Structure 1
Amino acid sequence: MGHRWEPMLDELVRSRYPRLLMRALMLTGSHADAEDLVQEALVASFSGGARFSSLGEAEHYVRRAIASRSVDRARRAARSRTAERRLAALAVHPTEIELPGLTRQVVDALATLPPQIRACVVLRHLEDLSVRETSDALGVSEGAVKRYTSDGVRALNAILGTVPPSGEPVLLTTTEVHGGA
């Protein structure tokens, strides 16, 4: 059974989507982000059983939702950047880090990576989490996990000089420490 607002939503998307997308594009600067923003605004505007009396009223409401969601996104991004800068500014004291199976050189190299890249490398290669599990744990897309992990491993290989002659990078793994005989 359909909802009373569905015809209004269909008409709005059919006739006004390009204008809504252009507004979002001006706010985001990215076509993909603009499409996501319009979708979020449409869902927010119509998910509560919207009761618009005209197409113009519905468009106006969605345009306001696009603007407010754009501001919310910018605020979240700014908070995230501030938190990342604060984390990056924290002094890392290698003497305080005890990770069995990792050499001091690897620990020091990890400390040079930006926080999000470091987190992806550690979760993927040291904690052996899948891309999906890492994505869920960090609240980023699976594509971002893959990119950050690749960038991190590449940086670590450059720092550690661990790219063999074949050109294939060496993967980061822990070694089990056994008592001597």
Structure 2
Amino acid sequence: MTHETVDESDFADYAREAWGTLVRSAVFLGCSLHEAEDLAQTTLVRCYTAWPSVVAADNRAAYVYRMLLNCLRDSKRRRWWGEKPTERLPEPGRGGGRGADAIAGVDTADAVHRALAGLSKPNRDVVVLRYFAGLTEAETAEALKVPNGTVKSRLSRSLAQLSANDHLADFKTDFKTDFKVDSTTDLPTEETTS
């Protein structure tokens, strides 16, 4: 087996650019912020070790998000048994000193997180990759290894379910256009979740 050299600066640029979206996607796939950061880091390590393949991929985004989903699946399989999931999340806004806008952003992120938790895993994966990671329908289909029509039907069902979701009722908004997450969207931090 030959090892191709990795262009360190190219990979570093990619990692900086992808970090926030990978973390956000992992959070909306059901991870805590710490788990999401670990998952993003593991995904980027795998990207580094396979960088020549990542660069050569027809669709880099789909390739990397497939890695993210595989890392998530692997982490769930080996989850530490000492973890104890809870039924309720801590109340948002216990950040002490955070402004009202930041708290509102956490409230919104919490509502979206709760609404996404009500979707089946395949439907949640499609919504997160399409709207939060910003992949196209074709890229989402490639990342999930499903036909494009499956992505469309899952999106349609998921958006209908999210539109009727009680957790989003206070926001009176169109999930499809108003809940796209970008690098400026606040995620809950340890400060607000402890």
Into which bin does the TM-score normalised by the smaller protein fall?
A: 0.3 to 0.5
Structure with more contact order per residue of length (Cα contacts < 8 Å, sep ≥ 6): 2
TM-score when scaled to structure 2?
A: 0.36
TM-score when scaled to structure 1?
A: 0.38
Larger radius of gyration: 1
